[in-house]
Structure 1
Amino acid sequence: MSETSIFQSLHSGLQKALEKLQLPTPTEVQQQSIQPILDGKDVMVSAETGSGKTAAFLLPIIHKLLEKPSRHTSTRVLILAPTRELARQINKHAKDLTQFTPIKTGLIIGGAEYKYQQSIFRDNPEIIIATPGRMLEHCEKESADLNDLEYLVIDEADKMFEMGFTDDVQAIAGYCNSERQTLLFSATLKTKGIRHLTDYLMDEPEAIVLNTFEAKNDAIEQFIITADDLNHKEKLTQWLLANEEYRKAIVFCNTKEQVDRLGGLIRYHKIAAGTLHGDISQSVRNHVMTQFRDSKIKVLIASDVAARGIDVKDIDLVINFDMAHNAEDYIHRIGRTARAGETGTAISLISHREWNLMVTIEKAISGKFQLRTIKELQGKYKGPKKLKASGKAAGSKKKKDGAKKLTAREKKRLEKKQGKKSAAPAQSNKPKKKFGAVLVDTGEAPMKKKS
């Protein structure tokens, strides 16, 4: 089937929406995923951030719902996402695609009023998009009815596992119709535990691997700048946001406290910035994201909780104030830029504590970070000096080489070591007392055995 015919075979309402959204042809993940889903197969897909994977599962599902309308059933589609922001993004995308159809969606996430969400279930939308914790709560309290469920979708499965939602997902699956079709999308299928999840949820799934998270995104220039300490990092970030050319930028920190601190500092220096982390209320999150999308603020400072759910156009610059904890999180962070065929820049600020982590991530993504300096803010730390072979490694090499000639320094060190050995006091011949399983040299004369 040709690229255009995949979209042309979809329901006319979907084609009209795709035309309005200016999406004339499918992306690679859509090209490879839509037909197997239409064929009714369980599918697990590995695809990078920004590849169009949300539409890859929404389009065929909506098409099949429209082909077989059923107004007298409960929830027909459940889409689980690990974060509120990602759930909101999926809900928005679903509304865009269903705007010329009668299909309705509902959003069930933490931070929203529970009674209001109960009314969403009573309205009986065909598609529910939810975070696992809140959805499980509705299942346990019998607000949700999943007996007629036709499609279960797990998005960002690797993050779901990493955030500890695997048990919740499995529990929710227990409330679902066993005859459902299950779809799983992830940045990688290699994450420990993913296989266990697929074995539990899926029936002979078809694997579609377009890439792995280790693959380097060539559309993103990746730099590191060495930093002395926290204060130095803050100055570097302020300079970059004031001097780099970008339409929008995201700065990632590893803690909520650092997000708030940096946000205050950046705003103090007259740069319009918003903050986003797990402790911020849903209404404030919505307000910040709306301002960011509408370019009322150019800079968003966020924690990793928000990393997977931010899908905003015109992000040119990503700054890792703190280096990501692992390669997967790093890829998802920088994946906020260079979307839809554009290019972007990622800059990581690396202290001496983060150097080894940076090297590990560099190897994992099979890339090479470019070292960059800012003349006005050059620090003392330039990266580790050339490390000499450790004593253990050097020793084993000497044993292997055997005939290797010793240097004058090595000879002197060896002579000194041998001198210490010869000067060591002779071991006592006096007997040792046994305490438990330990022999202790007491220095006492042997005791005579009592008669």
Structure 2
Amino acid sequence: MTKGDDSVRRKRNKANRKKLNNQNNTSSSVSARVAAIIASKKRRQSGKRRKCEGMCFSLPTPDDPFNDRHGKKDLETKITKKVSPIEMDELVFVKGKKSSICKQTHKTDAKVDDLDQKVDKLASLKNEKKSLESTNNGWKASQLDPRRTKTQLNGKGGIHVQQRQAFENLDCPSKYLIMCLNEIESALRDDCTITEEEKPLFASTWGIEFWKCYSAGKDILETSGSSSSIEKIAWIVCSAADTISRKDEEAVSCTSPFLLFLVPSKEKASKVRSVCKPLKVHGIHTVSIHPGASVDHQIQGLKNCEPEILISTPERLLELVSLKAIDISGVSLLVVDGLESQYKLGYLDTIKDIAQHTSGNAHHLVFNVSFRPACVPVVQNLLVGPLHRLSLNNSVASQSACISQSVKICNAKEEKLSKAFLVLDNAYGNPLGCHPSNVLFTVGKGGKFHKLVSALKSKGYSILTGSVCDYQEVGNREESGDSTRRAVSVIDIDQIGTTDFSKYDIVIILDFVLSIGNYLQILTRMARYTANGVLHSILTDEDAGIAGPLIEILEKCEQVVPEALRNMYVASSMMAP
């Protein structure tokens, strides 16, 4: 028989009075820990338990591995989405906010009836992926490993990155790098340093090209004709931050500092530091050193901090290194910004000394507006090994940076060959003990070509004619242990358009029967992987018609114009009708 409303009300009031009396009675009060235990017991008895207590009553199942539903059936099916390479690129390259990398477009509460549509969509994405694999657009989605990241959708439609693997051999920047770029971009937009009309940092063409060169692990020669801008600095520091984070995940300690950024002035140091500041939330600390503060203050500050990024002017940094206030022997990336300004301030010798204090395994990045002859030895000193040339400027001066142009004037045609052999002796060393240097001869067709090949063979050179190599002669010399073998490539003027000049450090134009366009083609395509390229041109009085355009090219590239070449041009101008 059910109780009346009055009876139920009296019983509830009695329970409330008892609870109130217990609260007012201090002698019967219990500790917070005991109260939590009692409350937990009551929740278990009433069936209203927490998620963390669900394991006490139900076991995980394949449909619910984390027991989020506590054994209850869910009418809505969770869909775990495997991120394909194409979708991963779409997720990465979306402008995000401070706390999220990107936004997911599909909803997590998809019905079971939508599964067929999801399958069709994934099938179409696979077809798009196969079509992209056939194109060579620099971002090869076919080589992107989908196991690189594991993603899980959260309730707000975002993505939580649970695992990242090394990406040295991949063709796409990691999500962590893009997240750092978005952090910097958001901070700069808040400070009105960049406007909303400017394109996002992750869409920078220069940044993408830099990341490819940086991932290859070689030195970089930046010849765009300008110093580092905000987008360039952002990509450099974010790439360094990504490397540091990967080393932390692999439990590899990074010697401090990781990145050393040499700048010519205090103002440029402040600009670089403003870009690096947003990365502090990720544990990337930046310290700026310049003549604006006292040496004692900077020494004390360096004792209390171990920065991952160090920004400094060369003179102040060398002073602190000499006082043993900081150790830069473990620097992994050395960036030299504004070499032209450093030259005007007299810092070139200081930069050389700083480079000697870094380890031999450090990678280098050199920025410069124009390469004067006085700056080239510094670049060659820093960039000793193989390098990548990075330039978005198609000008002759930019594409031919650090390539010396030598022009020799002969009185007779018979002197050309002797001058060419002097160039070869200097390239391979004299006597014949040589180092592997890539030398290319450009000569006219027909009898001149065969005459040059015969002369080179008589001097003991192994000849590479076009794309055909004298492998039999080379093999015989190698088997006999002849260390004096020297290889020279020879092409005629018809092969200029099909020859890969990027691997040749030294090119000798023996017969200047080609046009000035061919000369520019050779100049801008040769020595792509070294800072020691030399282009030799041997002229006679018959080549006076090419003197004027050649002088103009030398002046644009800030090269020394021989006095004999100017006299040839003046003489040809006076004889012209």
* Shorter-chain TM band: 0.3 to 0.5
TM-score by length of 1: 0.44
| Higher relative contact order, structure no. (Cα contacts within 8 Å, ≥ 6 residues apart) | 1
Larger radius of gyration: 2
Higher helix proportion, which one?
2
